Structure 1
Amino acid sequence: MAGRTATVAGVEVSLDHWIGGKRVSSSERFSNASPIDGSDLGAVAAGGQQEADMAVEAARKAFPAWAALGAEGRLPVLRKFADGILTRAKDIAAVETADNGSLLMGNLHRMVPRSAQNISFFAEWALGLNDHVIEHEEVINNVRYDPSGVAALITPWNAPLMLTTWKVGPALAAGNTIVIKPPEWAPLTCSLLADIAHEAGVPAGVLNVVQGIGEDAGDALVNNSDLARISFTGSTDAAKIIGQAAARSITPMSSELGGKSPFIVCADADLDAAAQTVAGQYINAGQVCLAGTRILVEASIESEFLEKVRAAVSHMAVGDPREPTTRVGPLIHPEHFARVAGFVERAKSAGAKVLWGGAKSDFGALYFQPTMFAGVKLSDEISQKEVFGPVLTWQTFGSDEEAIAIANGTEYGLAGTLFCGNEDRAMRIAAQVVAGTLWVNCFFVRDLAAPFGGSRISGIGREGGTHSFDFYCDIKNIAVRKGSFGPTGG
């Protein structure tokens, strides 16, 4: 492997960009440390204007040939790409765990298989896109999904591989070419993804990776006027900046942003299942945008349910994410640790009661105890702002109307979870909660064809199935007057 590389968890990983089918270095580099123990993972190439422009130009040149293949022509390459991800599952999982501290078993058995599925699913789905015909008394409307051009894909650090392939799959299947900007706090599996794409036969320039700091590489990328699409997953504040750049060129933008999701538990629910699911909100050290961080419990069951949750959380062992018994690993970075700790200390100062946790774990520098606050008001910072750590709040409600009001009492609208034993009641509550996804008696399961995205400040647009292609394609209607070509169509 040419250029500068590092051996991470026994796997050789390039630390350079992937542009136009080859590795490209930069004069500037940034350090990358493992959150597990602070060990050095290598000095990663820090791109800027030059590298971003090179990548967009490479993608622009590769676009006509890739688009011309059609969905059928792209399918074999994308299938091989997906197979390549599965073939290297152990390597990818090990590198992702070292790079961002997520659980190794979760990466190996869930995140990597889902990443491969993201590629294969959308490659197959694209085959039927142009079969949509709408009959009218005068015309036949033939709806086409045409490739739009070069797409910039900006991805987050909490699940870098899976959330990158969630964008890569439909973007490439649609016939677009792409420039990926990986997260600077966890860039390495996106680098591996470029190698796998190359080995699968993805042509040079179709998939490019520009690494670097968001304010440099990311800013240069989103301000390139040759982009046809910008897809971003990350914070609401960053989305505002990217949105301003997109607006200058009228570049369509899709964004999946933060959340402050409610987790509603009704008195007639399966309380054991609900308690286990509440404990599961601490997975990935709470660094999950979809997590139900605001626990809303019907007042009549508060004491009983609290003890069930306390017992479930007692099994959420903090430790090395490479160990199969660990359930809560480290926070991603010292800067993020300080942010989470700041939220906790301010909540304490505001009078919130710590039910458990509330401090740094003794396990290591970036490990934080699973934490639950009670005695909070809806107006409190800890109830309103996304902490993105293992920190939950506990509130009670006396009626469905009160539960709905609390659930909808933030600026966010990404997701929600509801445990309830009565179908009519559950559907009535679910219908009134503002959220892109509302799980009832389950959590974190969804068909890839289903719409996914956020409401309010939690995002713009929807992804999944045809919804993804609605964004990544230029949708055209060819309206043909009936009978205008004669009986033979000549």
Structure 2
Amino acid sequence: MSTNIVKVAGVEVSTDHWIGGKRVASKEKFANFSPIDGSHLADISAGGKSEADAAVAAARKAFPAWAALGPKGRLPYLKKFAEGIRARANELAAVETMDNGSLLMGNIHRVVPRAAQNIEFFADWALTLDGHVIDSPEVVNHVKYDPAGVAVLITPWNAPLMLTTWKVGPALAAGNTVVVKPPEWAPLTCSLMADIAHEAGIPAGVLNVVQGIGEVAGDALVNHPDIDRISFTGSTDTAKIIGRAAASSITPLSAELGGKSPFIVCADADLEAAAQTVAGQYMNAGQVCLAGTRIMVEKKIEEEFLEKVRTAASHMVLGDPRDKNTRVGPLIHKEHFARVVGFVERAKADGAVPLWGGSQANIGELYFEPTLFAQVSPGLEISQKEVFGPVLTWQSFTSDDEVVALANNTRYGLAGTLFSQNEKRAMDIASRVTAGTFWVNCFFIRDLAAPFGGAKDSGLGREGGNWSFDFYSDIKNIAVRKDSFAG
């Protein structure tokens, strides 16, 4: 086992890959820093083609035995895996907070429990897939969900543990083996996840973790000739590169990408609840692909609602994410901070006016003030492109047709949110906005049985419930002629 161990928030974390049930070091390293204070956390083994080849080979070797267990045979391993995540919730939360700057209390009470649920839920759901029969006049169709093989899972830095288990759970439950490529800006909880899987008895090679830079390690994995699935969460531009690699080998690809989601507030809404929810769009420093960053308010309540949002936003305390009173932490990395600042400065130059915020906070290098822009026309860059920071825009509308047109006026279609107490109106608007998920009088509620994904440039495919198994399985139909075995 590796001796390359660092302590992060008092927790021992390996800085090496996890391949074939062993820790594997690389000569090349990349530095990992905490966005909270810029402190150096670790030098991480940087994988490339050799590590990708070794991990895929290990996954391929482990695949037949893992697939042969069937859903019932895999269930005890995955249940123990989920239990291990729960048992180390405080450690995982503390490391993730140091690694990506997300709120400690949120990680303890929401993120890590959801990571465990991701594993457990899909292990249970896999049991429901056996015995699916379609009766036809001449034949009985027996639908089988066969494991696909080796899945490459590429995960983002804004919620690395939760979004990795969102992929690992159904992939393993379906009988596949996996190679995880964690985000280079926040790789540490994926390393801990590998330890927990090992402690749960997950066989060697079933779950592998290859760390590294996307253009090197990620590129080697998605272009590998012996993989069967690619699941990616990240930017649209990166997805296009991965898509070309997947197309060259006809490897099925699932991609959950960026968003520029509308947040629609009708005059008949519960304005207090809507205002609190708007303020909540600043969570995780706005580094949430699902966030409703384009606030669209019915003209007749615009002034009243703006004051309610101003009050709600004033309670979004910016500070150290380890402090229980903090509601908005730092941005992930100085490169990303510069990107967010660039969007804000160009918006100001384009004539958009910040109603509040719009500047770097004076509490640290990567902290940016929660910001709301007004005087924003639909064609401005700030209205069209994903900022992925604590930056919202404000627009008004006078009719449902107008707001639907505004909502659909981007290349994205990941999510949408609407507040109204008129059910018919709410459902009509929701049905006309292009989005994979649309919340009415709520936000950020994701049932694991429901479909999740994006339209247009926000993604390809759906996951959740049966949709996950449709992707992570080779679905086979065995059509048996009726009475062919009579006697």
What is the TM-score of this pair, normalised by structure 1? 0.99
CA distance in 2, matches of 1:53, 1:414: 34
Deviations 1:32-59 (A, max 9, x none): 0000000110100000000001000000
Q: Which residue of 2 aligns with 1:22?
A: 22
Q: Which residue of 1 aligns with 2:425?
A: 425
| Contact 1:3 1:16 (C-alpha < 8 Å) held by counterparts | no
Q: Which residue of 2 aligns with 1:388?
A: 388
- Report deviation, 1:2: 2.7
CA distance in 1, matches of 2:178, 2:2: 22
Deviations 1:451-484 (A, max 9, x none): 0000001000000000000000000000000000
- Report deviation, 1:126: 0.2
The amino acid across from 1:321 in the alignment is P
Deviations 1:394-429 (A, max 9, x none): 000000000000000000000000001100000000
- Report deviation, 1:119: 0.2
| Paired residue secondary structure (1:161) | helix
| Paired residue secondary structure (1:144) | strand
Q: Which residue of 2 aligns with 1:309?
A: 309
Q: Which residue of 2 aligns with 1:110?
A: 110
The amino acid across from 1:416 in the alignment is G
CA distance in 2, matches of 1:158, 1:2: 27
| Contact 1:181 1:211 (C-alpha < 8 Å) held by counterparts | yes
Alignment of 1:70-109 (within 5 A): 70-109=70-109
| Contact 2:378 2:384 (C-alpha < 8 Å) held by counterparts | yes
Q: Which residue of 1 aligns with 2:371?
A: 371
| Contact 2:36 2:320 (C-alpha < 8 Å) held by counterparts | yes
Structure 1 runs of 4+ aligned residues shifted over 6 Å read: none
- Structure 2 residue runs of 5 or longer lacking an equivalent are none
Deviations 1:136-162 (A, max 9, x none): 000000000000000000000000000
| Contact 2:258 2:289 (C-alpha < 8 Å) held by counterparts | yes
CA distance in 1, matches of 2:343, 2:48: 33
The amino acid across from 1:61 in the alignment is K
The amino acid across from 1:424 in the alignment is K
Deviations 1:185-208 (A, max 9, x none): 000000000000000000000000
Q: Which residue of 2 aligns with 1:287?
A: 287
| Contact 1:3 1:24 (C-alpha < 8 Å) held by counterparts | no
Alignment of 1:307-346 (within 5 A): 307-346=307-346
Q: Which residue of 1 aligns with 2:469?
A: 469
Q: Which residue of 2 aligns with 1:156?
A: 156
| Contact 1:151 1:177 (C-alpha < 8 Å) held by counterparts | yes
| Contact 1:3 1:25 (C-alpha < 8 Å) held by counterparts | no
- Structure 1 residue runs of 5 or longer lacking an equivalent are none
- Report deviation, 1:130: 2.1
Q: Which residue of 1 aligns with 2:48?
A: 48
- Report deviation, 1:363: 1.1
CA distance in 2, matches of 1:438, 1:144: 32
Q: Which residue of 1 aligns with 2:359?
A: 359
CA distance in 2, matches of 1:446, 1:231: 19
The amino acid across from 2:471 in the alignment is F
The amino acid across from 1:191 in the alignment is S
| Contact 2:149 2:228 (C-alpha < 8 Å) held by counterparts | yes
Q: Which residue of 1 aligns with 2:460?
A: 460
| Contact 2:120 2:169 (C-alpha < 8 Å) held by counterparts | yes
CA distance in 1, matches of 2:225, 2:480: 34
The amino acid across from 1:190 in the alignment is C
The amino acid across from 1:372 in the alignment is L
CA distance in 2, matches of 1:266, 1:471: 37
- Report deviation, 1:169: 0.2
CA distance in 1, matches of 2:60, 2:377: 52
Deviations 1:173-221 (A, max 9, x none): 0000000000000000000000000000000000000000000000000
The amino acid across from 2:61 in the alignment is K
| Paired residue secondary structure (1:82) | helix
CA distance in 2, matches of 1:359, 1:336: 15
| Contact 1:55 1:208 (C-alpha < 8 Å) held by counterparts | yes
The amino acid across from 1:29 in the alignment is K
The amino acid across from 1:428 in the alignment is D
Bigger drift between 67-76 and 128-137 goes to 128-137
The amino acid across from 1:337 in the alignment is F
Q: Which residue of 2 aligns with 1:300?
A: 300
CA distance in 1, matches of 2:446, 2:121: 14
Deviations 1:5-54 (A, max 9, x none): 11000000000000000000000000000000001101000000000010
- Report deviation, 1:313: 0.2
CA distance in 1, matches of 2:60, 2:330: 40
| Contact 2:2 2:24 (C-alpha < 8 Å) held by counterparts | no
| Contact 2:2 2:25 (C-alpha < 8 Å) held by counterparts | no
The amino acid across from 2:220 in the alignment is A
CA distance in 2, matches of 1:362, 1:371: 15
| Paired residue secondary structure (1:227) | coil
| Paired residue secondary structure (2:228) | strand
- Report deviation, 1:441: 0.1
- Report deviation, 1:131: 1.9
CA distance in 2, matches of 1:284, 1:411: 24
CA distance in 2, matches of 1:215, 1:318: 33
The amino acid across from 2:22 in the alignment is K
Q: Which residue of 1 aligns with 2:136?
A: 136
CA distance in 1, matches of 2:97, 2:352: 33
| Paired residue secondary structure (1:292) | coil
CA distance in 2, matches of 1:5, 1:57: 25
- Report deviation, 1:447: 1.2
Q: Which residue of 1 aligns with 2:443?
A: 443
| Paired residue secondary structure (1:348) | helix
What is the TM-score of this pair, normalised by structure 2? 1.00
The amino acid across from 1:361 in the alignment is A
- Report deviation, 1:266: 0.0
CA distance in 2, matches of 1:278, 1:146: 43
- Report deviation, 1:72: 0.3
| Paired residue secondary structure (1:145) | strand
- Report deviation, 1:132: 1.1
TM-align CA RMSD: 0.5
The amino acid across from 1:253 in the alignment is L
CA distance in 2, matches of 1:104, 1:410: 33
Count of paired positions: 487
The amino acid across from 1:158 in the alignment is N
Deviations 1:311-358 (A, max 9, x none): 000000000000000000000000000000000000000000110000
| Paired residue secondary structure (1:119) | helix
2:202 is the counterpart of 1:202: yes
The amino acid across from 1:480 in the alignment is V
Identical aligned residues as a percent: 75
Deviations 1:290-316 (A, max 9, x none): 000000000000000000000000000
CA distance in 1, matches of 2:334, 2:34: 11
| Paired residue secondary structure (2:293) | strand
